[in-house]
Structure 1
Amino acid sequence: MTTPEIAAYGAWRSPITTDLITSQTIGLGQIWLDGEDIYWSELRPSEKGRNVIVRLKDGEVSDVTPAGYNVRTRVHEYGGASFLVVNGTVYFVNFADQRLYRQSADSAPQAITPEVAKRYADAIFDHQRQRIICVCEDHSVTGQEAVNTVVSIGLTADSTPQQLVAGNDFYAAPRLSPDGSRLAWLSWNHPNMPWDGTELWIAEVQADGFLGKAEKIAGGREESIFQPQWSPDGTLYFISDRTGWWNLYRWQNQTVEALTEITAEFGKPLWVLGMRTYDFESSDRIICTYTQEGIWHLASLDTKTKQLEPLPNPDTEISSLHTTPGKVIFIGGSPTEQTAIVQLDLASKQLEVLRRASEVKIEAGYLSLPQAIAYPTSDGKTAYALFYPPQNQDYTAPVGEKPPLIVNSHGGPTAAAGTSLDLSIQYWTSRGIAVLDVNYGGSTGYGREYRQRLDGQWGIVDVDDCVDGARYLVEKGAVDGNRLAISGGSAGGYTTLCALTFRDTFKAGASHYGVSDLEALARDTHKFESRYLDRLIGKYPEQQQIYQERSPINFTERLASPVIFFQGLEDQVVPPNQTEAMVTALRVKGVPVAYLPFAGEQHGFRQAENIKRSLEGELYFYSQIFGFELADAVEPLRIENF
């Protein structure tokens, strides 16, 4: 065994390169079961961020989506649930035109919706009436807010969608009962987001295919319903946070009945459509997943006895769960394994990996394992985070040196730090830079009360929790208090910019398509989030002063730390003008600033060369600001005023 080389933190050579991350890693998305065949979607950075449907049939894996097509819907801008499969025929949304296509085994994709400004998602198949039922988002009227409905679509070319449900601002999860006689769906209205309050409705499907009188059976402005689903025997199940925690319920005999009553979250914030945390192995058995203290668990629930029993599984992060009799298929990951599509045999308890996000194997000596920490916050509460110390078996730091720290503020802001192996985190730790992935107040996984810590306090609670986390590690002697950086994307970018502007803890920062002007965001963003700030900040323009007081763009005179900005030029969530205004202000003030815009990218980067450039650009930026030599050559970037 070789003796580790002594080198400064940040200057360690790592086998975890940007080429390895981008060219040999894919994103695993939606799963769909069609008989014995398993389908899933793959996001491929090496193909310009194209999404491809893949099929596992008779032990062979093959691409279904032909070249020139990108399977991705833009409903709510974040999409999700972009395809379904029925007896080998695939129906999918193509990103370029947002039309719904039919693709059979022996023919090329054929559009079945008109060429108009409508988007489709979260589709199911109505076998009795040979049609598709899905969410529709109509952008055809210029200058007006998009209109969301539930529609039915025929299977022939250029079918005219028929409206089934309308009148609410948003819809999700249209689900038919097994006999096709009833339709259930979720709806909600401004200013709520789906994790704030949704309603669960059902209606009879009439002989002509339209719906009879609708009945609300659960939910409201202060109750979030997630994943309604019919059991094989025709009972409607769903997840509700009416107790403060997302637990499982069912509606039977006109009554709502709790199936689980534990301090755990079976649900997730519905940022993307089609999310699933449970499924029916039979009418008497549900296979489900839930999170406690940031760790996801797999379990079996007896629908008669309500007994919840854990299932053996090494994964700590689980999503997109589906079942067939005797088997469970899901996307799983752990601190030592990247996400993979996994199949669990319920009889033998054997796990089989069907597809990995990456076939790259990283030696354990290069991997930093997350350490769950809890620490006191400025408002007298407790915040949570995952701490990743530097780790590289080939290096050790000089005696007495402490590592730089990057505090990661996740997006959402109601998302959560994941526990599966993330090479973009290991990219830093294997070079000698510590990472703190913060689940600040407002994050999911700790109950409704913890989510609501952010109500009216965005830009305060999240910032304090990030600052307090960094200070906690400094006080413990784990990191260098003079080399603290903060980085985040989207809402996490806003937290980053607020921390750099209104606090003096961090010496540098990186904003990935982050919000800098809350007023601009309130006036100029897409429908799904257009009233999100009502709860996080206050009503606009009635509480305009608060918006102005919490917008970093208005206080650039307070910002003295260097910042690097990354921005997709086709971003409809946080438009480029927000980032460009911030860059201009810092440029004029004389603060060191760097800006990397990316043509062809939306909200979040999907193209390999842009993911590579943003990672390497951020590393180069920190090396210049914190004064450490890089072990590998990285393309320089211009840092103005430096």
Structure 2
Amino acid sequence: MKPEVASYGSWRSPITTDLMTARTIGLGQIALDGEDIYWSELRPSELGRTVVVRQTANHQIQDVIPTPFNVRTRVHEYGGSSFLVVDGTVYFSNFTDQRLYRQDVGSEPQAITPEAAIRYADYVFDRQRQRIICVCEDHTVAEREAVNTVVSIGLEKDSQVQKLVSGNDFYASPRLSPDGSRLAWLTWNHPNMPWDGTQLWVGELKADGSLGNTQQVAGGLDESIFQPEWSPDGKLYFISDRTGWWNIYRWENGDIESLTEMKAEFGLSQWVLSTSTYAFESANRIICTYTQQGSWYLASLDTTTKQLEALATPYTDISSVHAAAGKVVFVGSSPTELRAIAQLNLTNGTLEVLRSASDVTIDAGYLALPQPIEYPTADGKTAYALFYPPKNHDYIAPEGEKPPLIVKSHGGPTAATSSSLSFSIQYWTSRGIAVLDVNYGGSTGYGREYRQRLNGQWGIVDVDDCVSGARYLVEQGKVDGDRLTISGGSAGGYTTLCALTFRNTFKAGASYYGVSDLEALARDTHKFESRYLDGLIGAYPQQRQIYQERSPINFTDRLACPVIFFQGLEDRVVPPNQTEAMVTAMRAKGVPVAYVPFAGEQHGFRQAQNIKRSLEAELYFYSRIFNFELAEPIEPVVIENL
């Protein structure tokens, strides 16, 4: 059938918000227990509830955790590693009360820990002493900062909680040696973030279960250690960026030995706990994943010869790697495939998809493939991004028309964008709107030096790279320079607001729970990020002037283009008062502005109705600002001052 001629933005698409929310789930943590495989599923259709699912050896799949339990921890606010499986019994953090529960087969979950303002995460099982070792975050004293420790917890209700390690600001990755005699863990202190500098420690477990003879193995203020793991034969492995790239190392008899020497990242920024990029198939074989130039690869590493051998998969984004004899299970995705739990047979190379994020199949004629681009940015440097041109085989644009562009600035800001299939990107491209997903300076995946470009320069380098990317595409003739927009969430929302306030490249923008007041962020945010800005901006309040100079809320007189704001009203990372102050200022100035708040949402939207509403409202907003007709009816959003 001959394509219909229609303006960019006006194309009808099968990639709807209903498809994205009702039939799409989030896939997260993986655990192996004998022949059974467990994973977590975030379900927008169940008000954002996370469930643990089990696949048995005979391929039967079933939910393990019943309604209304929600498997999610709030340690560091971002959580991660919220459940542990031991011989068919699941131990998990419940989101509502943050207590640790025990779920035996055929029984209702039973709380192990008492009711208190205490959170638990990053579990490991101490079989010898019949206890769980984990990270604990104590919020019981409201007047002080939360206290983080490593503790042990018995397996029954009201069991003793024993403090094992304390005294530092943060802890992560407690890992027990195979014989149960030694414990390894990571720790760091303010103002460092885990990707700045961490320390790897090891201690010996005494007869009473306490720790003794502790020693620092690696790390420091300027070395980031990631994912310590004991091999089956009792050797300690870890990932370090001591050469400028996160590579794999081994500690044995007091000596540290490098196993990979590549300009590649085998680790990543530890926003969530217990992120896994490698696992032991045996004592002599590690299955690992690493990234180069924005793509992830799976490989087999011989721990004796140090030979790295590629393992073929169809995926360009790989995470949550777990292995057992002869197999590896991981989360994989690609530009044409949504995230999936996949199992690779290491003997014959066969790949089996255990669970996909969606059962929806989209015709390739509606999918825009990412085009990796490098482009010049400020100070003669190079920035990286993925460009998605509009794609819908049912339509072509009128001759001579160029598409609008949405520049996406990812969160973190120490994070990275992904090349995997994202309906939230295809939603735009299939309607005729181009997308540039930017890995600005400060992003992970390009080495420590690139990551540190943002040190002291947040609100400058990231903005430069987003602006330069948009201008580069205009110069290449790929997009319409009069219809450039920028959109981002959290830290990406800050980049968005800075670009709209301090530059004149973009004609509109969308801020999802974005930072507008750096001083308020420094004063109000949670412990994990409370000193993050020391590195990104400078010490507060000593360098208060810089905070004021880079806060968009102080310069609304310079903001002359329309913005739509989305905000969760229970957000502790970026409290609603920041967004509301920005909206009030724009309202008073007479600049077109829309505000869409969501009750019950925190930092990032998890409920289907709110994900649907925010995307549709953003599209509606652009249609009004750029005067294009919508192919489908959308509930209007109130745009003041338009």
- TM-score band by shorter chain is over 0.9
For residue 529 of structure 1, what is the aligned residue in structure 2?
Answer: 529
Residues 473-552 of structure 1: matches in 2 within 5 Å?
473-552=473-552
- Aligned residue runs from structure 1 range 164-563, under 5 A: 164-563=164-563
Matched, 1:110 2:105: no
User: Is the contact between residue 114 and residue 160 of structure 1 (CA under 8 Å) also seen in structure 2?
Assistant: no
Residue by residue, what CA displacement relative to the aligned partner does 1:369-391 show, whole Å, maximum 9, x if unpaired? Answer: 00000000112110000000000
In structure 1, C-alpha distance between the alignment counterparts of 2:526 and 2:9, rounded to whole Å: 39
Decide whether the 8 Å contact of 1:410 with 1:416 is kept in 2.
yes
Give the C-alpha shift of residue 106 in structure 1.
Answer: 2.2
Q: Which residue of 1 aligns with 2:575?
A: 575
Q: Which residue of 2 aligns with 1:19?
A: 18
> Among the aligned pairs, what percent are the same residue?
77
Shift of 1:251: 0.1
What residue is the counterpart of 1:84 in the other structure? 84
1:63 is matched by which residue type in structure 2?
A: D
Is 1:53 the counterpart of 2:58? The answer is no
CA contact (8 A) 1:29 1:40 kept: yes
State whether residues 113 and 160 of structure 1, in contact with CA within 8 Å, keep that contact through their aligned partners in structure 2: no
Structure 1 position 311, deviation (Å) = 0.6
CA distance in 2, matches of 1:625, 1:106: 56
- Separation in 2, partners of 1:103, 1:10: 49
TM-score, normalised to structure 1, is: 1.00
Q: Secondary structure of the residue that 2:427 maps to in structure 1? A: helix
Q: Where do 5+ consecutive residues of structure 1 fail to align?
A: none
Cα deviation, 1:185-231, whole Å, max 9, x if unaligned, reads 00000000000000000000000000002100100000000000000
The aligned counterpart of 2:591 is 591
> What corresponds to 2:28 in structure 1?
29
Distance, in Å, in 2 between the alignment partners of 1:59 and 1:284 is 29
Q: What is the rounded CA distance, in whole Å, between the counterparts of 2:17 and 2:422 in structure 1?
A: 13
1:566 maps to a residue whose letter is F
| CA-to-aligned-CA distance 1:213-263 (integer Å, 9 cap, x gap) | 210010000000000000000000000000000000010110110000000
| 1:160 Cα deviation from its structure 2 partner | 3.6
Within a 5 Å distance, the mapping from 1:56-135 to structure 2 comes to 56-57=55-56, 58-135=58-135
Distance in 2 between residues matched to 1:203 and 1:92, nearest whole Å: 26
User: In the aligned structure 2, how far is the partner of 1:13 from the partner of 1:180?
Assistant: 59
Matched residue of 1:458: which SS? coil
* 2:510 partner SS: strand
Give the AA of the match of 1:141: V
Q: Find the counterpart in structure 2 of residue 5 from structure 1.
A: 4
**Structure 1, residues 562-601: CA drift from partner, whole Å, max 9, x if none?**
0000000000000000000000000000000000000000
SS at match of 1:566: strand
Mapped contact 1:370–1:388 kept (Cα < 8 A): yes
Say which SS state the counterpart of residue 262 (structure 2) adopts: coil
Runs of 4+ in 1 over 6 A off after TM superposition: none
1:6 CA drift (Å): 0.2
1:119-166: CA deviation from partner (whole Å, max 9, x where unpaired): 000000000000000000000001110000000001111224210000
Inter-partner Cα distance in structure 1 for 2:159 and 2:173: 22
Per-residue deviation, residues 519-575 of structure 1 (Å, max 9, x unmatched): 000000000000000000000000000000000000000000100000000000000
Cα pair 1:114 1:159 within 8 Å, conserved? no
C-alpha RMSD over aligned residues: 0.4
Q: Which amino acid aligns with 1:515?
A: V
d(CA) in 1 for partners of 2:142 and 2:370?
48
Scaled by the length of structure 2, what TM-score is found? 1.00
**Structure 2 Cα separation of the partners of residues 435 and 421 of structure 1:** 13
- Report SS of the residue matched to 1:591: coil
C-alpha deviation, 1:36, in angstroms = 0.3
Task: Kindly indicate whether the alpha-carbon contact (under 8 Å) linking 1:205 and 1:211 is maintained by their aligned counterparts in 2.
Answer: yes
Q: How many equivalent residue pairs?
A: 641
Q: Name the SS of the counterpart of 1:620 in structure 2.
A: helix
